[in-house]
Amino acid sequence: MHPNSLLCLLALGILLSCNTLPKAQSQPATPAAPAAFINWDKKMVELGPVKKGEKRTMFFEFTNPGTENVQIDVVAACDCTTVDYPRGVIAPGQKARLDVIFDSKEKEESETIDIDVIFKNTDAAGNPRIERVSYKYELVK
Domain boundaries along the sequence of the chain: 39-140
Among 123, 128, 121, 114, which Cα is nearest to 43's? 114
- With 70 as the cut, is the pLDDT of residue 6 above it? no
What CATH code would you report for 39-140? 2.60.40.10
Exposure pattern of 55-65 as b/e (b: 16+ CB <10 Å)? ebeeebebbbe
Write down the pTM of the prediction. 0.75
pLDDT at 126 (0 to 100): 95
Higher confidence at residue 137 or residue 15? 137
Residue 9 pLDDT > 50, yes or no?
Answer: no
